[in-house]
C-alpha cells in the first residue's frame, strides 16, 4: 500500500471526496479492485492518474484553415485519445504508474502526453485524428462513432516509431487468436524483442524468449438495438475487471465518454465535455499538465443507460499477457446469465477473410461491405445473437 504522501501527491486533495458512494461493493478501475470504504484516496489517485482529454479552444487551425476548437463535435475523438493514451501509459510507464502534481520529469510521461497535445505534429493530436478521418469519409468537424475513431488511431500508429505497437481491431464480433499472434510476431524496424518481464531489449543482448510487439486490441460492438441488452451487463463488467483492460469508449448518442470502471450498477467514466484553453509547450519543452488530469471524483452513470454502440479495449504487453487474456475470456463465456459480447476463436473462420483496415481489397469484400467497413453509424455493427 502506498504511503499517505504518495497517495495525495503532497498537494493533491479531493474536496468532494464524500461524493463517491459509501458502499461495501467492490470498485473496479481498469482491472484493479478497490474497497470504497477504506481505499477512497487510492481510487481517486488511480482515476486522476489517467490522462483526461477534453474539448479545447484556440488551438492552431486544423488543416491550416479549419476549426480552432473541437467543442461540440470532438468528444469521441477525445475518448479515443484517452483509451489510446492509457495504452501508451501501460506500454511505457506500467499500469501501476501514478501521476504526481508538479512532476517535472522529462522522460516517459511527458513523451506520452506530448503525443496527444493539440498541434499538427503530435502523433495522436486532434489535428491528426480529424485529418486522417477525412480518408474514412468523415469531414473535419463531423462526429465519429467508436469504430471510426478506432480505425483512425490504428492508422496513426504507423507514424509512432517510439511505441512499436500492434493495433488490431476485431470486426464481426470475432477475435482470432492465430491472426493476432502472427501480427504481433512480425519483425519491426528496430528489431526490438519483447520479453515476459514487460521489457524490450535489442537482439543479442540476452537470450530471446519471444518476439512480440505489444498489442492494443480494440473490439467495436453493438450490444442491442436502441438500448443495451441487459444480458451483456455482467460480461461488460467482467471486461473492466481484467488486468489487460483499457476501458470502453461509448456513451449516449452524440455524447461520448471514456468508461474506466464500475461500482455496483454504475459505470465510472471520464467526461470530455469540458472546454479548456489549449496548452502550450514551455521553454524547457514541458507542459503545464494539471488540466490533463481530472482532479475531482469521477462521473458515474447507470450501466443500463449506456448506448449499445461501444468499443472495448485491451492491452497485452507480452504474449503471456495475451494468453492469460484468452483464458479469462474463455471463462467469461461460461458465466451463467451473461451473454458473450464477442467470440474468441483459434483460427480465422473460412467464411470471411482478414478485415485489416490497411489491406482491404475488392477481392476480399464486396462493394457494400467496403462502404460500411469504416462507417460508424448504428447499422455498422452486427447485432449479437442471443
According to the model, what pLDDT value does residue 288 have? 87
Q: Give tens-digit pLDDT for 111-121.
A: 999 999 999 99
Q: Are 235 and 338 in contact (CB under 8 A)?
A: yes
DSSP tag of 19: G
Residue 10 bears catalytic tag:
no
Task: Give the strand pairing for 266-270 and 255-263.
Answer: antiparallel
Q: Is residue 13 part of a domain?
A: no
pLDDT at 385 over 60: no
Q: Are 212 and 184 in contact (CB under 8 A)?
A: yes
Is residue 297, in this structure, part of any structural domain at all? yes
Place of cell 512480440: 212
- Which one-letter DSSP state was computed for residue 45? H
Q: DSSP labels for 304-325?
A: GGS-SEEEEEEEESSHHHHHHH
Ranges assigned E (strand) in the chain = 26-29, 32-35, 55-57, 166-169, 174-176, 192-194, 200-202, 215-222, 245-252, 255-263, 266-270, 275-277, 299-302, 309-316, 343-345
The overall average pLDDT reported for the chain is: 82
- What is the DSSP track for 32-56? EEEETTT-HHHHHHHHHHS----EE
* Predicted pLDDT at 254: 74
Q: Is the pLDDT of residue 169 over 70?
A: yes
For 253-273, how does the pLDDT look when each residue is reduced to its tens digit (9 = 90+)?
779 999 999 999 999 999 999
pLDDT tens digit sequence for 337-379: 889 999 999 998 776 655 443 333 233 333 333 333 333 344 3
pLDDT at 285: 66
Tell me if 25 is assigned to some domain: no
Residue 3 lies in a domain: no
343 is in which domain, residue-wise?
Answer: 31-380
Could you tell me if residue 187 is inside a domain? yes
CA 58/CA 277 separation, integer angstroms: 6
pLDDT at 104: 67
Compute how many other C-beta atoms are within 10 angstroms of the C-beta atom of residue 132. 19
Worst-scoring range by mean pLDDT, 69-83, 328-342, 350-364?
A: 350-364
What pLDDT does 7 receive?
Answer: 40
Grid coordinates representing 348 are 480465422
Q: Are strands 174-176 and 343-345 parallel, antiparallel or unpaired?
A: parallel
For residue 1, being part of any structural domain is answered with: no
* Sequence-distant (≥ 6) Cβ neighbours of residue 44 within 8 angstroms: 14, 17, 20, 297, 298
Residues in Cβ contact with 350 at an 8 Å cutoff, skipping those fewer than 6 apart? none
| Residue tagged active-site, from 92, 164, 172, 273 | 273
- Is the pLDDT higher at 10 or at 135? 135
For 32-52, what is the mean pLDDT? Answer: 95
Cell, residue 276: 479548456
Q: How far is it, in rounded angstroms, from Cα 146 to Cα 377?
A: 9
Look at residue 208 and give its three-state secondary structure: coil
Residue 11: is it exposed, middle or buried by C-beta count within 10 angstroms (0-12/13-18/19+)? exposed
- Percent of the chain clearing pLDDT 90 (strictly above): 67
**Residue 142 resides in a domain:** yes
Residue 7 placed within a domain: no
Catalytically annotated residue among 45, 46, 75, 90: 75
CA–CA separation, 194 and 243 (whole Å): 19
Rounded CA-CA distance 116/126 in Å is 7
Question: Is residue 332 predicted with pLDDT exceeding 80?
Answer: yes
Does residue 380 carry a pLDDT above 90?
Answer: no
**Number of domains the chain contains:** 1
Question: What's residue 106's pLDDT?
Answer: 59
Residue that wins the pLDDT comparison between 31 and 357: 31
- Strand pairing class (55-57; 275-277): parallel
pLDDT at 19: 74
Residue of 180, 171, 178, 220 whose CA lies nearest to 365: 171
| Residue given cell 519491426 in the structure block | 188
Radius of gyration of the chain (CA): 20
Query: Is 75 marked active-site?
Result: yes
| pLDDT of 189 over the 60 cut | no
Number of CB atoms found within 10 A of residue 95's CB: 18
Is 273 one of the catalytic residues?
Answer: yes
- 41: Cβ contacts below 8 Å, ≥ 6 apart: 7, 8, 14, 17
> For residue 219, which of 204, 197, 236 has the smallest C-alpha distance?
236
Q: Which tens digit of pLDDT belongs to each residue from 198-233?
A: 444 444 333 344 489 999 999 999 999 889 999 999
Residue 236 has pLDDT above 80, yes or no: yes
HSE-CB of 145 using CA atoms within 13 angstroms? 22
| Alpha carbon distance 99, 280 (integer Å) | 20
Amino acid at each position: 500500500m502506498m504511503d499517505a504522501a504518495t497517495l495525495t501527491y503532497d498537494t493533491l486533495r479531493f474536496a468532494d471526496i464524500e461524493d463517491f458512494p459509501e458502499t461495501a461493493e467492490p470498485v473496479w478501475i481498469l482491472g484493479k479492485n478497490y474497497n470504497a470504504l477504506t481505499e477512497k484516496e487510492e481510487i481517486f489517485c488511480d482515476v486522476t492518474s489517467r490522462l483526461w482529454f477534453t474539448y479545447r479552444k484556440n488551438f492552431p487551425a486544423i488543416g491550416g484553415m479549419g476549426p480552432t476548437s473541437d467543442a461540440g463535435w470532438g468528444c469521441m475523438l477525445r475518448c479515443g485519445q484517452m483509451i489510446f493514451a492509457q495504452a501508451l501509459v501501460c506500454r511505457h510507464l506500467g499500469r501501476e504508474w501514478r501521476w504526481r502534481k508538479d512532476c517535472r520529469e522529462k522522460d516517459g510521461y511527458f513523451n506520452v502526453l506530448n503525443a496527444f497535445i493539440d498541434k499538427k505534429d503530435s502523433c495522436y493530436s486532434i489535428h491528426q485524428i480529424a485529418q486522417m478521418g477525412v480518408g474514412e469519409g468523415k469531414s473535419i468537424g463531423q462526429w465519429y462513432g467508436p469504430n471510426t475513431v478506432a480505425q483512425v488511431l490504428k492508422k496513426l500508429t504507423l507514424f509512432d516509431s517510439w511505441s512499436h505497437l500492434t493495433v488490431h481491431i476485431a470486426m464481426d464480433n470475432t477475435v482470432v487468436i492465430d491472426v493476432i499472434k502472427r501480427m504481433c510476431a512480425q519483425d519491426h524496424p528496430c528489431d526490438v524483442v519483447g520479453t515476459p518481464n514487460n521489457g524490450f531489449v535489442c537482439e543479442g543482448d540476452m537470450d530471446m524468449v519471444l518476439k512480440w510487439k505489444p498489442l492494443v486490441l480494440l473490439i467495436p460492438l453493438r450490444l442491442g438495438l436502441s438500448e443495451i441488452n441487459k444480458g451483456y451487463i455482467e460480461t461488460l463488467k467482467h471486461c473492466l475487471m481484467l488486468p489487460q483492460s483499457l476501458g470502453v469508449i461509448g456513451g449516449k448518442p452524440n455524447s461520448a465518454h471514456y468508461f474506466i470502471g464500475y461500482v455496483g450498477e454504475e459505470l465510472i467514466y471520464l467526461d470530455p465535455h469540458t472546454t479548456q484553453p489549449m496548452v502550450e509547450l514551455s521553454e524547457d519543452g514541458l507542459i503545464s499538465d494539471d488540466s490533463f488530469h481530472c482532479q475531482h471524483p469521477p462521473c458515474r452513470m447507470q450501466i443500463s443507460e449506456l448506448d449499445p454502440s461501444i468499443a472495448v479495449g485491451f492491452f497485452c504487453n507480452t504474449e503471456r499477457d495475451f494468453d492469460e487474456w484468452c483464458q479469462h475470456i474463455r471463462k467469461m463465456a461460461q458465466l451463467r446469465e451473461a451473454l458473450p459480447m464477442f467470440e474468441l476463436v483459434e483460427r480465422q473462420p473460412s467464411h470471411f477473410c482478414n478485415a485489416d483496415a490497411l489491406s482491404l481489397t475488392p477481392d476480399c469484400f464486396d462493394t457494400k461491405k467496403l462502404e460500411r467497413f469504416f462507417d460508424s453509424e448504428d447499422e455498422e455493427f452486427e447485432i449479437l445473437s442471443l
